[in-house]
Structure 1
Amino acid sequence: MRFVDEAEIRVEAGDGGNGVATFRREKYIPMGGPDGGDGGDGGSVYLLAVENVNTLADFRYHSVHRAQRGQNGMGRNCTGKKGEDCIIPVPLGTIVYVAETGEKLGDLTHPGEKLLVAKGGFHGLGNTRFKSSVNRAPRQFSKGSPGEQRVLKLELKVIADVGLLGMPNAGKSSLIRAVSSARPKVADYPFTTLHPNLGVVRVDDLRSFVIADIPGVIEGAAEGAGLGLQFLKHLSRTGLLLHLIDVMPYESSETPVEAARKIIHEVEKWSDELAQKPRWLILNKIDRLPEDEVEEKCAEIVKELDWQGPVYQISALKKQGLDRLMYDIMQHLEQRRQLEAKQEKDDEDEQG
């Protein structure tokens, strides 16, 4: 299925059913009085976050979603049936905006999370509701109110713990294939990745994390060049970025350091928040270097970049250095989760 990360849909909640004005008409019961029932409430429209959907592609072909109208009231004080709600499954990580105003309605990040996006109309009242000591035979009734209608903009940001960042053909797809069951396209030419790929990395039976591969970023991506602008947003939810560098690029006039600096520049232009995320330098394709030159070449790259963070030397194709990298990532994420849990607890204690 084609990966789509933006879509517009129209949602229409059901109108409330009308109340009715009827009177009890039975043999031997004179002046039976009013017995008009209320209408039913209109159905509402909800978005539901589910795990088995990973794209917004379906909304390109099914863009209008309607809930059921409430049933009208009936005689004998019978209330109309409530309209059925319309529940729309969306991928985890879907952000919902009102298209006209840009107002953010919600962010669905947990399985089973539900968001009301259009409320059904309120039911109309039957004439029984208007009976009083001075109005024994009311003929008043009210109509149901209309349901909400609006156009929504849906934006998908994939949920992953780790994001891969790098120039085209830096080896991101090879890495995600080597450490997970994801199978993105791999070839000897750039731009083989055209949409984000997610893979689950299992460190052991009980510990795992999700890694995301996006299309390669090129110079000018922050202004819309290539696919970088379209997919850089998918890294905004990650807790760690792996910056992959090809230590021996084929047929390239750029040195690994020049390529790395371009990536860093584009990320900084795109988002300060993204630029400030923890980032590790991954020197890939060391299998192309003679063994006695690996340390010297890698040290030269690190020195020229003045890199202060963690550095790893790997070969995704030969699966060299990957075990240590994956275990260190798992440990980093666990420590981060512990800090976040502690912060949440401290915040709750302060509020309590």
Structure 2
Amino acid sequence: MTEGNFVDYVKIHVSSGNGGKGSTHLRREKYVPKGGPDGGDGGRGGHIVIRGDKNLWTLFHFKFKKHFRAGHGEHGGSSRSTGADGTDVYMDVPLGTVVKDTETGQVLFEITGDGEEKIIARGGKGGQGNWHFRSSTNQTPRYAQPGLEGEERSITLELKVLADVGLVGFPNAGKSTLLSVITAAKPKIADYEFTTLKPNLGIVQHRDFQTFVMADIPGIIEGAAEGKGLGHYFLRHIERNSTLLFLIPADSGDIKKQYHILLDELRRYNPEMLDKDRFIVISKSDMLDEELKSEMNEELRDAFDGIPYMFISAVARQGLQELKDRLWEMLNRQEE
């Protein structure tokens, strides 16, 4: 999937169908000149239904179609015939899609299961035919109920990427490079900040044909939790990752400071993020010799508060298999 095809935020207008009106028909046949009321009920209007689809990874298919309207219910007929229901409209979305009311910002629900269905706009109820209103004092009612109108509303769809491991780091920390080396993903890579503007997903092939999903989340900057830059746009994708992989370049001025800035941004955005498993990787470590690594080890043991860490180099292919092994262990420990 190319970056341009990844759409994770879209506003949509939906309208459900109106209910059909009830019939005021009176039974009239050759030998039954005064047969009484037999008007049927109107059919209900069509619903707008949001449905989860595990085969979708993006909201791209809503990019050019942002208005959805369900069919109206048919009117009731004679012989107590109920009108046909309006046609329901199904909107298929990726798993991890959050549905919000655009006007209030309220979260309505989240789609997390394949085939899960939620009605976002309910069709209007069909009106009752005159057959329902007959009585001993009114044996030929000539009125029936009109159908109820459908619902009309604006909703916002937000996709939170579902991945096992989320890459967290500052811009140009080497996240895209790592993803391109250990998965088949082909993210855009260049030597300047904010090369990645949308999340990239890749499947990591582990031993014995086992796999897990890794997401390259666009880089975090200080103030992201307050929405600085594209802060909230990026951070919401990390909420769905079970393990957070912090990437800090070996040539950073202060590795400990960078780690704590990243941690603080996650905490300010959502304190529950700190409950996730964390693993720290010092990237671009092909620039370090063994003596320098030993010196850094002495400092980093205390700096990371017991969080496991290791040195890797995506470009030089150093430590990648060990990294996959350790991530696999963490993911499977969570499932036990």
Q: What is the TM-score when the length of structure 1 is the normalising length?
A: 0.87
Question: Is the deviation greater in 258-267 or in 316-325?
Answer: 258-267
- Whether the aligned pair in 2 keeps the contact of 1:285 and 1:314 (CA below 8 Å) is yes
Question: Is the deviation greater in 42-51 or in 323-332?
Answer: 323-332
What are the residue-to-residue correspondences of 1:1-352 with 2, within 5 Å? 1-205=4-208, 207-248=210-251, 254-290=253-289, 292-293=290-291, 295-303=293-301, 305-338=303-336
Q: AA paired with 1:260?
A: Y
- Whether the aligned pair in 1 keeps the contact of 2:22 and 2:42 (CA below 8 Å) is yes
- Whether the aligned pair in 2 keeps the contact of 1:216 and 1:227 (CA below 8 Å) is no
Q: AA paired with 1:257?
A: K
Unaligned runs of 5+ in 2: none
% identity of equivalent residues: 43
Write the distance in 2 (CA, Å) between the matches of 1:31 and 1:260: 86
Matched with 1:341 is none
Write the distance in 2 (CA, Å) between the matches of 1:88 and 1:298: 53
Q: SS of 1:236's equivalent?
A: helix
- Number of matched residues? 333
Cα offset for 1:294? 5.1
Write the distance in 2 (CA, Å) between the matches of 1:307 and 1:244: 16
Write the distance in 2 (CA, Å) between the matches of 1:117 and 1:287: 53
- Whether the aligned pair in 1 keeps the contact of 2:166 and 2:245 (CA below 8 Å) is yes
- Whether the aligned pair in 1 keeps the contact of 2:19 and 2:148 (CA below 8 Å) is yes
Write the distance in 1 (CA, Å) between the matches of 2:304 and 2:47: 56
Write the distance in 2 (CA, Å) between the matches of 1:37 and 1:270: 56
Write the distance in 2 (CA, Å) between the matches of 1:294 and 1:47: 55
Q: AA paired with 1:122?
A: K
Q: SS of 2:272's equivalent?
A: helix
Unaligned runs of 5+ in 1: 339-352
Write the distance in 2 (CA, Å) between the matches of 1:174 and 1:321: 14
Write the distance in 2 (CA, Å) between the matches of 1:202 and 1:47: 33
Write the distance in 2 (CA, Å) between the matches of 1:229 and 1:104: 16
Question: Is the deviation greater in 175-184 or in 293-302?
Answer: 293-302
CA 110–206 in structure 1, closer or farther in 2 if over 3 Å, else same: farther
Write the distance in 2 (CA, Å) between the matches of 1:156 and 1:306: 31
Q: AA paired with 2:172?
A: N
- Whether the aligned pair in 2 keeps the contact of 1:13 and 1:121 (CA below 8 Å) is yes
- Whether the aligned pair in 2 keeps the contact of 1:198 and 1:213 (CA below 8 Å) is yes
Write the distance in 2 (CA, Å) between the matches of 1:297 and 1:212: 31
Deviations 1:15-48 (A, max 9, x none): 1100111122222332222221111111111111
Q: AA paired with 2:116?
A: E
The ranges of structure 1 where at least 4 consecutive aligned residues each deviate by more than 6 angstroms after the TM superposition are none
Q: AA paired with 1:224?
A: G
Q: What root-mean-square deviation, in Å, do the aligned CA atoms of Structure 1 and Structure 2 show?
A: 2.1
